[in-house]
Structure 1
Amino acid sequence: MNKPQREITLRFLAEPQDVNFGGKVHGGSVMRWIDLAAYACAAGWSGHYCVTAYAGGIRFVSPIHVGSLVEVEAKVIYTGNSSMHIAVEVNACDPKFLNRRLTTHCIVIMVAVDEHGNSVSVPAWVPETEADIKQNKTARKLMDMRKKIGEEMQLFVEQ
């Protein structure tokens, strides 16, 4: 078996069908690209089909214009038994000048599943560099925060 692929970058041009009435790329289009990159990253790491379990902390920093070269970078920053936390960063630039700028970032949690939809184990990822250790620590902190938010949100469901 090949070594798991920890990160991937998808590149493409923002097309007219991706644009909203304000002339900027739809947030929904950006979210679709994020999901595609997170899937490709998770599948490359796990060697299995993966499903999205969570997408959160989506921060739209700056707009993307039609014709921009868009790069969606995704990388594993934490692994559980069957889950993978994927950090995603979206950058865009004018392809004539390559002046990349951050437009969006978030965390996506993907779960590896078998042909019956049951979760399957994924290879463990162990942080090695200082940056990896920091990202892994952040992923763990976010897990605790999501748990607390989930408990609070349960109050809405119970009413």
Structure 2
Amino acid sequence: MALRRQVEFRFLAEPTHVNFGGKVHGGMVMKWIDQVAYACAAGWSGLYCVTVSVGTIRFRHPILVGHQVELVARIVQTGTTSMQVLVQVSSFDSKGGAKQETNHCIISFVALDAEGQPAAVPAWVPQTDEDRFLEAYARKTKAFSQEVEQDMLDFYKESP
């Protein structure tokens, strides 16, 4: 089986995806992000995967009803049982207009075996300068996430 490092989803933003302001719900975008990232992680590992964390998602530009939406997910770092997936979301008006990135984030997944235990994933090795940059970005995002999570745990451990 050939490993697939990248997965792309493309579709139109529909009226059922938008809020009262006429823009796609942030929660809907997060659902799409999780779906494309899952497809990428499962495609890479060949196993069922679970989301562990989503890091630094920021909504920079709205997605409007009728716009074409493109989500690109790719493996940017692997551990023994985990994968870091970069998801980039962009949109554009089909009737004209430049494509713009609406947001991006790193999602961590762990692969599971048939018993639901963490399972080994194939290693991914960066090949280009961009690959090395994105792997470092994923590592920084993961380290930051772990640091702030520990801060939260420590705070509540010490609270009365």
If the TM-score is normalised by the length of the shorter chain, which range does it land in?
over 0.9
Distance across 1 between alignment mates of 2:11 and 2:83: 25
Q: CA deviation at 1:59?
A: 1.1
Q: CA deviation at 1:31?
A: 0.1
Please state if 1:39 is matched with 2:28: no
Could you list the runs of 4 or more consecutive aligned residues of structure 1 that deviate by over 3 angstroms after TM superposition? none
Aligned residue pairs total 158
Task: Summarize deviations over 1:94-132 as a string: whole Å, max 9, x none.
Answer: 112262111111110011112221110000000010100
User: For residue 29 of structure 2, what is the aligned residue in structure 1?
Assistant: 30
Please state if 1:102 is matched with 2:101: yes
TM-score by length of 2: 0.94
User: For residue 127 of structure 2, what is the aligned residue in structure 1?
Assistant: 128
* Secondary structure of 1:5's aligned partner: coil
Distance across 2 between alignment mates of 1:75 and 1:42: 8
Instruction: List gaps (5 residues or longer) in structure 1.
Output: none
Task: Summarize deviations over 1:33-85 as a string: whole Å, max 9, x none.
Answer: 00000000001100111111101200101000011100011000000011100
User: For residue 9 of structure 1, what is the aligned residue in structure 2?
Assistant: 8
* Secondary structure of 2:87's aligned partner: strand
Give the percent of matched residue pairs that are identical in Structure 1 and Structure 2. 48
Instruction: List gaps (5 residues or longer) in structure 2.
Output: none
User: For residue 111 of structure 2, what is the aligned residue in structure 1?
Assistant: 112
CA RMSD in angstroms comes to: 1.1
Q: CA deviation at 1:156?
A: 3.8
Q: CA distance change for structure 1 residues 92 and 152 in 2, over 3 Å: closer, same or farther?
A: same
